[in-house]
Chains A and B, each alone.
Chain A
Amino acid sequence: MTTARNPRRIRAATSLAALTAGALAAGTLSMAPAFAADGGVTQERLLNADKEEGNWIQHHKNFAGHRYSTLTQINKDNVKNLKVAWTMALGGIESGGIWSHGGLEGTPIVENGMMYVTDGWGSVYKIDTRGGEGKLVWKMDPKTDREWAGAVACCGVNNRGVALWGDLVVSHTLDGRLIATNKETGQVAWQRQVADPDKGETITGAPLIVKGMAISGVGGAEYGIRGWIAATDLKTEKEVWRTHTIPGKGEPGSETWKGPNNAAVSGGGSTWVTGTYDPDTDTIVWGVGNPGPDWDNAYRPGDNLYTDSTLALDATTGKIKWHFQHTPNDPYDYDSVSENLLVDAGGRKLAIEADRNGHAYAVDRTNGQFVWATPFVKKVTWTKGINPDTGKPFEYDPNKDVQRYNPAATPSAENKNADFCPGNMGGKNWPPTAYNPNLQYWYIPVIESCNRVTHEAMTQANLKPREFFTGGGPSQPFRITGSVTAIDVKTGKVAGKHETQFPLLGGMLATPDLVFTGEPGGGVMALDAKSLDKLWEFRTGSGVNAPPMTFTVDGKQYVAILVGLGGAWDKWFIDSTPELKNIQTGSMLYVFAL
């Protein structure tokens, strides 16, 4: 990288690039060779993402989902000196549909000093981070149809970020599009409609790119969708495969949808959190969300595959290789959408997942066999626990079509108002975990919670396009707090817990001796990787709802995080955290350095 940089000249060139396409953009390349010299992102680079120490070129940092950076300039001895280096105000807080504002949930992507972030409505911002400040290079506004999408987004105006491929920045919009943007010019190269909001489908996740295909997941299990995972070839712009998470008639698993309601057609099974990829077996591992209607499991007798399951797909064909279900015939809204981290421990190749039902699971990722499960929340009431022989809840009865688990904690026609723990947001929601491969510690951003669900019996007449189909609704009579909980993956046991005043709605970053996270009261913090003692905190004065990441530019390490409370919390769950009513709407990027 050249040191004879002229920031003013680059700024002028790039702002022109933002205004124009084609020939002028080509001129930009020659003026700033450092931008284009890398030749774009390839499968080879994605496979070796960890070797690009100062970059963060994938949503979860690497294909295995570790969110672990080997950078050590910021460490436990000096993290107390971490300060704000620069900030940038972003947009995307506009209202739409049932939402009064958008929020920020994205993970910044950084390649050679250029950062790519998104706001809740799907605008992509390219930011030049060189020279100790942030300069906007371009903004791609996809002009999301806010009313169309916002009316069927159960849980906020959210977008979790971009992926890189070749000279493209690949992203989703809430109104169901996959968009490929030219990395240099910010012009949309092409786009296709992947999900259909007319059916209640929306997209909030970042794409996963495998072998030149963009893998998209969908949200909408609260609106009677039939979930799927889809692969789009980034060269032909065509769909390569689409695998439904609810089997079609006659397919394996369809026998787990019984009763007179034809429940599989509206069975839910969303896939709204970005999954992981195991190149050794060419397998995509992706989590599947709750069945619909959420809280009336008598509407849909049977185990309801593949809801609340981890799915392993052949990356080339999309064919299901194996599955592991956590909460059969779920009456709680205990999605298993969480990312599965691919880790090797005790001589086994594992996929580990922190489930909304409050238990951390390890399965053998070569065949889906259960290995261990352990509760990571302080309080679980819906079950006595997970049977270590079967991996199923102790109360699960395969001969029963409708599971009641702990009946006193289960919403049903006989128990109209049920209190259960974890609450329906789960012990851990979408915010990602992180894994330190040296310590073999796995850090979970926890929602320590209980809540109440009022049951409502559903009929097929309740099923209408673009309308909620939930079988009741939650309320918040109990205070909800949070924690960072570390699991020792060698033993499968909880190794430590750092309790927080508020639920952790942002997610984790691990470095060799630190873990970073943020909380919705505004704090961004660093904990000791081993003891979980708090070593540093900065109060942003806004709500953190996104995971931190770290990168280097000009040879210096930075920590970046998006700040702006959105998501489901401040509409549906705020009564459990009354102090958060004081958090104002905002949309900011914070970048820290020593």
Chain B
Amino acid sequence: MRKLMLPALLAGLALASPSWAQSARTGGGEGDLAVFKKACSGCHKWHGGGGGGYGGDALSLRKTELDKEQIAEVVRCGRPGTGMPYHLRGAYDTVKCYDSLKADMGSNMPPETAVFLRPAEIDAVATYVATRLKGKGDPTFEECTTFFGATSRACDVYRKKEGTDAPTH
């Protein structure tokens, strides 16, 4: 059974969430940027575009077709067979993920995150991805400054592109 299920997961078809998720506090409004910053932006980048590259292979969250609950499940459980880690303490151990425990996963076991997230944080970051990133086109200057504030030059390139500022050099 499980052998049949994993390829389906790899194709991005997430399964129904386990029942405990319904009891997690629902993140309000547009979700939590702070959680995204600490847990996601290292690979998916600030804009969620991912983009593969030198060694990473993070998918674009802007192009995701998952809904919020499915996103939350991938954050909790990771993405089997890929580098996307699981973020829930006890996943595949005290809590089943995709109906599986660690022993069932073999070489498809996703890596463990560097920062575990509490259920409320997972919910809040899934909300962030679903409402602030999913379906968005190219990153904008406004999105960038929302992420970084005004203390970094990281957004200058978007301002230049949008032609809203005189040349800086």
Chain A interface residues toward B at CB < 8 A: 97-100, 145-148, 151, 154-155, 175, 197-198, 222, 294, 456, 465-468, 470, 472-475, 568, 571-573
A148 touches B45 (CB 8 A): no
**Interface residue? B52 (CB, 8 A):** yes
B157 touches A466 (CB 8 A): yes
A468 touches B53 (CB 8 A): yes
Min CB distance B26 to A, Å, is 29
Query: A470 CA to B57 CA in the complex, in Å?
Result: 12
Min CB distance A422 to B, Å, is 16
A468 touches B154 (CB 8 A): no
**Interface residue? B43 (CB, 8 A):** yes
B residues 44-85 near A (Cβ < 8 Å) are 45-46, 49, 51-57
**Interface residue? B156 (CB, 8 A):** yes
Residue of A whose beta carbon sits closest to that of B161: A465
Identify the interface centre among A97, A98, A175, A572: most chain B CB within 10 Å of its CB: A98
A155 touches B54 (CB 8 A): yes
Chain B interface residues toward A at CB < 8 A: 41-43, 45-46, 49, 51-57, 114, 148, 152-154, 156-157, 160-161
Among A145, A294, A456, A572, contact of B56 (Cβ-Cβ < 8 Å): A572
A147 touches B114 (CB 8 A): no
Given A100-B42, A151-B45, is A568 in contact with B153 using a C-beta cutoff of 8 Å? Answer: no
B52 touches A470 (CB 8 A): yes
Among B41, B54, B154, B156, contact of A154 (Cβ-Cβ < 8 Å): B54
Residues of B within 8 A of A294 (CB): 54
Query: A146 CA to B151 CA in the complex, in Å?
Result: 10
B152 touches A145 (CB 8 A): yes
A198 touches B152 (CB 8 A): no
Residues of A within 8 A of B55 (CB): 473-475, 568, 571-573
Residues of A within 8 A of B153 (CB): 145, 148, 175, 197-198
Q: Which 8 residue pairs spanning A and B have beta carbons closest together? A: A572-B55, A468-B53, A147-B152, A147-B154, A148-B153, A198-B157, A148-B154, A154-B54
Query: A456 CA to B51 CA in the complex, in Å?
Result: 12
Query: A146 CA to B153 CA in the complex, in Å?
Result: 9
A-B interface pairs (CB < 8 A), number: 69
Give chain A's interface secondary structure class. loop
Query: A175 CA to B152 CA in the complex, in Å?
Result: 11
Query: A473 CA to B152 CA in the complex, in Å?
Result: 28
Min CB distance A96 to B, Å, is 9
B52 touches A473 (CB 8 A): yes
Residues of A within 8 A of B41 (CB): 98
> 27 interchain pairs (CB within 8 A)?
A98-B42, A100-B42, A100-B114, A145-B153, A145-B154, A147-B46, A147-B154, A148-B153, A148-B156, A151-B45, A151-B46, A154-B53, A154-B54, A197-B153, A198-B153, A198-B157, A222-B54, A456-B52, A465-B157, A465-B161, A468-B53, A473-B56, A473-B57, A474-B54, A474-B55, A475-B55, A572-B55
Residue of B whose beta carbon sits closest to that of A468: B53
Residues of B within 8 A of A475 (CB): 55, 57
Query: A155 CA to B54 CA in the complex, in Å?
Result: 8
Identify the interface centre among A100, A147, A466, A571: most chain B CB within 10 Å of its CB: A147
Query: A557 CA to B152 CA in the complex, in Å?
Result: 44
Min CB distance A293 to B, Å, is 10
Residues of A within 8 A of B148 (CB): 147
B154 touches A572 (CB 8 A): no
A468 touches B52 (CB 8 A): yes
Query: A403 CA to B143 CA in the complex, in Å?
Result: 42
Residues of B within 8 A of A467 (CB): 49, 51, 53
Residues of B within 8 A of A98 (CB): 41-43, 45, 56
Query: A343 CA to B169 CA in the complex, in Å?
Result: 42
Identify the interface centre among B41, B55, B152: most chain A CB within 10 Å of its CB: B55
B114 touches A470 (CB 8 A): no
Given A147-B152, A148-B152, A151-B45, is A572 in contact with B157 using a C-beta cutoff of 8 Å? Answer: no
Query: A114 CA to B53 CA in the complex, in Å?
Result: 41
Query: A475 CA to B54 CA in the complex, in Å?
Result: 10
B54 touches A572 (CB 8 A): yes
Min CB distance A33 to B, Å, is 43
Min CB distance A581 to B, Å, is 10
Query: A198 CA to B156 CA in the complex, in Å?
Result: 7
Residues of A within 8 A of B54 (CB): 154-155, 222, 294, 468, 470, 473-474, 568, 572
Given A98-B42, A99-B42, is A473 in contact with B154 using a C-beta cutoff of 8 Å? Answer: no
Min CB distance B67 to A, Å, is 27
Residue of A whose beta carbon sits closest to that of B114: A100
A222 touches B45 (CB 8 A): no
Query: A100 CA to B51 CA in the complex, in Å?
Result: 18
Query: A568 CA to B55 CA in the complex, in Å?
Result: 9
Query: A24 CA to B56 CA in the complex, in Å?
Result: 51
Residues of B within 8 A of A154 (CB): 53-54
Residues of A within 8 A of B160 (CB): 198
Residue of A whose beta carbon sits closest to that of B43: A98
Residues of A within 8 A of B152 (CB): 145-148
Residue of B whose beta carbon sits closest to that of A198: B157
Task: With A151-B45, A467-B51 given, name 8 new contacts (CB 8 A).
Answer: A145-B154, A147-B46, A198-B157, A294-B54, A465-B161, A470-B53, A470-B54, A473-B52
Given A145-B153, A465-B157, is A222 in contact with B114 using a C-beta cutoff of 8 Å? Answer: no
Min CB distance A469 to B, Å, is 8
Query: A395 CA to B45 CA in the complex, in Å?
Result: 39
